[in-house]
Amino acid sequence: MTTARESLLDAAYAALSGRPWPFVRMVDVAAAARVSRQTLYNEFGSKDGLARALVRREVDRYLAGVRTVLTGPPPGDPAERLAAMAEWTARTACHNPLVRAVLTGCWGDRLPQPVRVVGGLPQAPYVPAQHRADVSLPSPVELLGQVRDLAAAALAAGRPAEEAQRLAGSCDVAVRLALSFVVAPAGSREVGRLVRRTLPAVSD
């Protein structure tokens, strides 16, 4: 069963696809989710809180997809799994402007500008404690590092240390190749083919 929170985030994402974030109205988001404005404010605190939660959800969904493709078949082929990860990254960023913005750090005028946390404190106006969990968002370097580490952990399982170390280098290359296709889109399948061709060279 969909919660009010998920319905509100779905409504906010749908609204963002139709107009720039500065013109998305809280009252319209609440109406689309079929909840009261008070419920919206109780859940997120403010429009900034809604924006942070929305970006956080999209990042979490992207990372969940990364985990899925890294643990999928074929289990013994690092090149195929890294290619799948790179294709997922390029495809998701192509269709999801929030994921693309977090991966690249390029936030256009149409998108919400999320608050970053430094030393545990928000760099923007005060955020109520109940909404503070939505504030922490990774920088592009941090997010790409998470993807690289997920890939390295998935591929290293059960392998000798020396081979696992070589594969970690391959993971870093695959993530960088995926990012290059996010910045300059050329088709998710193209990045997969490039990763497949490159992996043997970097893992030998």
Q: Is pLDDT at 157 greater than 90 in this prediction? A: no
pLDDT at residue 102 in the model: 95
Give the residue carrying structure tokens 């790179």. 86
Q: Which tens digits make up the pLDDT trace of 2-28?
A: 799 999 999 999 999 999 999 999 999
pLDDT at residue 147 in the model: 96
C-alpha 152/C-alpha 98 separation (Å) is 25
Lowest mean pLDDT among 51-60, 139-148, 192-201: 192-201
Lowest mean pLDDT among 47-56, 60-69, 89-98, 161-170: 161-170
Q: Is pLDDT at 134 greater than 70 in this prediction? A: no
Structure tokens at 17: 């696809």
C-alpha 115/C-alpha 101 separation (Å) is 13
Percent of the chain with pLDDT over 90: 55
pLDDT at residue 129 in the model: 44
C-alpha 164/C-alpha 156 separation (Å) is 5
Phi–psi pair at 121, nearest 5 degrees: -120, 135
Lowest mean pLDDT among 8-17, 93-102, 185-194: 185-194
pLDDT at residue 126 in the model: 40
For the segment 20-49, the average pLDDT, to the nearest whole number, is 95
Q: Which tens digits make up the pLDDT trace of 141-153?
A: 999 999 999 999 9
User: Between these two residues, 82 and 124, which has the higher pLDDT value?
Assistant: 82
Our CA dihedral for 39, 41, 112, 16, rounded to 10 degrees, sits at 30
Q: Is pLDDT at 130 greater than 70 in this prediction? A: no
